[in-house]
Structure 1
Amino acid sequence: MSLPFAYSHVDLRVSDRANAMAFYDDILGLLGLHRGETKPEHEWISYSRHDGTEQWFAFTQAAKVKPGDGRVAFAAPSREVVDQVAALLPRLGARNVEGPEEAYGPDYYAVFFEDPDGNKLEVCCID
């Protein structure tokens, strides 16, 4: 089952482009997002479903990175995918991992974590 994303785009700043690609490629791949063409002269890296939708996730390398107080939540098609993402997180260097767990009620299953730059993220399945 392919779920639509409920956002237009997300654009984060990261301290190291190569490390960010290594971190996000596996997680976003499990969620059906694929990295676009990557060229050394491009400042930003974007991921999308490659299905013609205008929704995307991107990051840009920046000299000074200050993670925001917000969180980006990605919709997973099942609890199993949430578990698969959670299993990847230690290997990818995620920080402050919480879950996977039922949060906000029995129909909401999620893993909460930060990427290596401290950006707050979540992968959730809402039954």
Structure 2
Amino acid sequence: MALTSGFNHVATLTSDMDRTVRFYEEAFGGVVTFEVAKRDDHPWMKIVDMGGGAALNIFEVPEEALIGERRRIGSRGAIDHFGFAVESLSVLEAVRDRLEPAGAQEVGTIQQLGDEWSLFFRGPDGMELEVCCPA
């Protein structure tokens, strides 16, 4: 049995903090709970509560600091993608309808992968992301 109880947070990079935070607020109802101003030794950071005890720690960096071309496994950096959990297919469909208006790119179609429904898309910085629920 695992000693952990799940993920606490995922740290991710953006070249535009306001755009990225607004995306997670509009698409998922995320809420900023903490902020660290940019300092010489630390980039601007916001923590966005994504529900269920999970958060995104978003760091703003220059665009050239974003790793890879983000369209191919192995070129996306140390984290290839991450998936958000929602409770049902109806919530997944509601999130799908919010993604493009919030700034998502390349929103795919909902597909069944094993015992889960899955929807892939790209966030406002082009990062591969996913939303999943039980099938």
Structures share fold, TM-score greater than 0.5: yes
The CA RMSD measured in Å over matched residues stands at 2.4
Tell me which of the two structures has the higher relative contact order, counting C-alpha pairs closer than 8 angstroms and 6 or more residues apart. 1
Which whole-Å CA distance do the structure 2 matches of 1:117 and 1:96 have between them? 12
Aligned to 1:125: 133
TM-score, structure 1 as length reference? 0.76
Q: Is the 8 A contact 1:15 1:117 kept in 2?
A: yes
Aligned to 1:7: 7
Structure 2 gaps, min length 5 = 39-43, 71-75
Which whole-Å CA distance do the structure 2 matches of 1:34 and 1:92 have between them? 15
Aligned with residue 36 of structure 1, among 13, 33, 57:
33
Aligned to 2:118: 110
Which consecutive segments of 4 or more residues in structure 1 shift more than 2 A? 48-51, 66-69
Q: Is the 8 A contact 1:28 1:34 kept in 2?
A: no
How many residues are treated as equivalent by the alignment? 115
Aligned to 2:46: 45
**SS of equivalent to 2:59:** strand
Structure 1 gaps, min length 5 = none
Please say which structure displays the higher CA radius of gyration.
2
Which whole-Å CA distance do the structure 2 matches of 1:108 and 1:71 have between them? 17
